[in-house]
Amino acid sequence: MNPKNVGKVYLVGAGPGDPGLITVKGLQCIQKAEVLVYDRLAGHRLLTYARPDAELIFVGKGPDLHVYKQEEINEVLKQKGLEGKIVTRLKGGDPYVFGRGGEEAEVLKEAGVPFEVVPGITSAISVPAYAGIPVTHRDFTSNFAVITGNEDPNKEDSAIDWAKISTGIGTLVFLMGMGNLPMIVKKLIENGRDAETPVALIRWGTRPEQKTLTGTLNNIVEKATEVNFKNPAIIIVGEVVKLRDTLNWFEKKPLFGKRVVVTRSRQQASAFAAKLEGLGAEPWEFPTIDIQDPEDLAPLQQAIAKIHEYEWIVFTSPNGVQRFFTRYFEAGHDIRDLSGVRLCAIGPQTKKELAKFGLKVDYVPEEYRAEAIIDGLKDLDWKGRKVLLPRADIARKILPEALASFGAEVDDVITYRTVRGGGDAKLLRQMLAEKMIHAVTFTSSSTARNFVEMLGVDDQEELKQLLEGVTLASIGPVTSGTMVELGLTVDIEATEYTIPGLTDALLKHWGL
């Protein structure tokens, strides 16, 4: 075969589960992959970075789940590489730390398929860190060992030198060893480890489902049995476990354990997601809307051409500000051309967006909705005054109609379109069915409307069952009204109709 027709395979460590722990190079490999081969330990949020046309192949492997055998995975990687594809093999943790990445690399080498290894953050050090346990500490130990936990306990010749590791290593980290926990404890004690040595079991480390159970070699098996503690988990043995009470930080975050769906557009979701993540939640971006240019730009361009004629410009969203000024500057204008024009912003976020252009706002209502703008400006002399409203195609008509009734000459110009987003509805339905979602946030009527449509449920009862136990949060009364019309329950409504206000409402709802 012509080598030029052969693709390339990247063996990428995805880290332990928190998508923020992917390396920069690993993320780049996901983004450029034509084929993405992933397992159950590679966080699903990382899949959202894949190309829209990428082929996604799930090769999940676990103690009780083998969609693909390892030999079949090897074959997939080889064949896709030989087809000339750019392949990213996304593996939980690090490819070469009990990830069988070495075996995959050998197969690729033999087949003549170029490959690269992109190391990942192994769960052996990251998961204990998220549980408040450093694997080394000068007051306790200066060494640690990472050991497979799923070696067959019935093997006559163990590959593990129990006599040496039991007393010769300060911290022992066993990966995927819950099924063999009794054997591991037995072997360590038989080979001289003190039965009172602290032990921690950490399940689904770095994720909202993270659970930590502590004890000693003497009682950890009994404790694990009582609570049915299962894989995927790591076992950490050593005096460093004593530091958990002092250094536990992840599980102390106010929104720890909560997975929150963000339905905003991708352009807007990142700031909200970052705020939630900083509070300990796992934000799940499910964009139900997308922001696009108007189908016809002529009305906006015509309004900008006569910008000096307007006495007021009323901005009702940050999107309107961004899209308006993109076209404004493209038309050759600068800020000086707005001299004498008064500006209104519907709320602090819109005001902040205008401030980026060095503009001061003349009026912001106390309540961030169109009705409050009308109430606040109704006593001004509007007769014959020209007003520009650069807004969305689906914006409510109440504002331009009210201003016109006051005597103003209103140009209500479509500045951007709000269309249905590209969230993975199939995956979200699955997560809702498995009760993995704790809350869904809605920041506009369109996010709520598209959310219901994208779920594709047949009737209200099915929708109710799918969302049972899920907290539904609204940014304000207009959005809440739409939610009620759609049959959604409004569990939370922000008192300040902003993203910070919605975040505060979530904290208050959960008693934080």
pTM of the model: 0.82
DSSP string, 206-256: TSTT-EEEEEETTTHHHHHHHTT--SSEEEEESGGGGGHHHH--GGGSTTT
Shared fold status for 7-121 and 259-288+421-509: no
Q: What does the pLDDT average to over 317-338?
A: 94
Measure Cα distances from 286 to 44, 349, 447, 478 in Å.
Answer: 12, 22, 10, 21
400-444 pLDDT, tens per residue? 999 999 999 999 999 999 899 888 888 899 899 999 999 999 999
For the chain, which residues make up each domain, given as ranges?
Answer: 7-121, 125-251, 259-288+421-509, 298-417
pLDDT (0 to 100) of residue 62 = 53
Dihedral angle of Cα 307, 364, 288, 483, to the nearest 10 degrees = -130
Does domain 259-288+421-509 fall into CATH 3.40.50.10090? Answer: yes
342 in Cβ contact with 380 (< 8 Å): no
Q: What is the DSSP letter of 495?
A: S
What's the Cα-to-Cα distance from 96 to each of 105, 107, 281, 380, rounded to whole Å? Answer: 10, 15, 30, 71
List active site positions.
Answer: 39, 61, 176
More confident residue, 512 or 307: 307
Q: Options 3.50.50.60, 3.10.560.10, 3.30.950.10, 3.40.50.300; which CATH number does 125-251 get?
A: 3.30.950.10
> What is the tens place of the pLDDT at every residue in 438-462?
999 999 999 999 999 999 887 888 8
Residue 131, helix vs strand vs coil: coil
Average pLDDT over residues 302-320: 95
Q: Is the pLDDT of residue 509 over 90?
A: yes
> Within 13 A of 351's CA, how many CA atoms are on the CB side?
14
Domain 7-121 superfamily per CATH: Tetrapyrrole methylase, N-terminal domain (3.40.1010.10)
Q: Does pLDDT of 501 surpass 50?
A: yes
How far apart, in whole angstroms, are the C-alpha atoms of residue 316 and residue 270? 21
Q: Which residue has the tokens 């993320």?
A: 27
* Amino acid code (one letter) for 35: V
Asked if CATH classification 1.10.10.10 holds for the domain at 298-417, the reply, yes or no, is no
